[in-house]
Amino acid sequence: MHVIEWLCQGNPVIRRLTQTHLLNQNEPYNNQGFIQDYINLYDHEKHMFGDGVYSPKWISTHYTMLELKYMEIDPYHPVYQDALNTLITHEWKPQGIYHHDRHQDMCVIGMLVSLLTYGKLQDERIHDMIDYILDHIFLDGGWNCEWERKPAPKISSVHTTLSVLEGLRDYEKNGYQYRIDEVKIAMLNGIECLLKRHLYKAHDTQEPIHHAMIKPSYPPRWKYDILKALEFLASVSYPDDLRLTSAINLLVKQMHGPLMLKGSQIPGKIRFPLEEGSYGRFNTLRMLKVLKHFRQPLYERIIKLSIH
């Protein structure tokens, strides 16, 4: 058995993502498998998942919606659309101020923009979020959720920067136009901010910022890892860059033939396990998407390897 066949034998969600992103098939939305399992858990009276908006992690509305988005639920599904209204109502306040002069978490707003624009929600509050993001860019081109801490941090956070970049990507991809030229420039500068760190290196030591960043897990939740960063870059068709080499090599070394480990479970509540065993179809799919874009010859060799 080859890896593509192995992926297609998985959950209907994995099968469709494989057909779409690796086999270039124009597959219609399919809300079966894990997607339907999550939809069945939606509380239509409370308009939320997990009896909460942002918490409890990871069964709340916010984090369940992140999983549904990654699994590519139909963006017009009534449950997804209904939950979007819950999120925008509770996770965004005017000018981003939620308590006196304390602002909302920039990382959360980046994720929120991603969720809202994937669902193609037309709401001027999204413009306010774009203002908030563009008004708080660090000098290095990235973002930091602790931007108003005293003393203020001098460099951006990779976690926050990637969350914002993913939001801006979906904002542009889904045709939003408000301040779009500034959004495009901010995206390029934010990407450059990550590239200057080779995606994972601390500025001062050139060592990994944190070991967890080079050991990817799925779902990554809000947390940053190099596979998540590379998958983002592939999604925007970013050209290859020498500064990506060490991150890609670190991931290739973690492969067991054509497979990736599923990674450690980030502590928190879950509704049900997505995968059993050591190897992960989600991480394997993510890795193959990256290799297909950045290392095409290696990708072609890997997909021909047999799984024993």
Q: pTM of the predicted model, to two decimals?
A: 0.96
Distances in whole angstroms, Cα of residue 27 to Cα of each of 31, 72, 287: 12, 11, 21
> Which residue range(s) make up the domain with 52?
3-302
In a domain, 249, yes or no: yes
Distances in whole angstroms, Cα of residue 265 to Cα of each of 185, 195, 212, 223: 35, 27, 11, 12
- Given a contact cutoff of 8 angstroms between Cβ atoms, the answer to whether 60 and 85 are in contact is no
Q: In CATH, what number is assigned to the domain containing residue 51?
A: 1.50.10
Mean pLDDT by 10 residues, the chain (308 residues): 97 98 96 98 98 97 98 98 97 77 88 98 97 96 90 92 98 98 98 98 90 94 97 98 98 97 93 94 98 98 93
What backbone torsions phi and psi does residue 225 show, to the nearest 5 degrees? -150, 165
- Given a contact cutoff of 8 angstroms between Cβ atoms, the answer to whether 183 and 157 are in contact is no
Residue of 57, 47, 44 whose CA lies nearest to 87: 47
In a domain, 307, yes or no: no
In a domain, 259, yes or no: yes
In a domain, 308, yes or no: no
Split into its structural domains, the chain has a count of 1
The residues that bridge with 43 in the sheet, in sequence order, are 48
In a domain, 37, yes or no: yes
Q: Which residues contact 63 (CB under 8 A, 6 or more apart)?
A: 50, 54, 57, 219, 221
pLDDT at 101: 67
The three-state secondary structure class of 48 is: strand
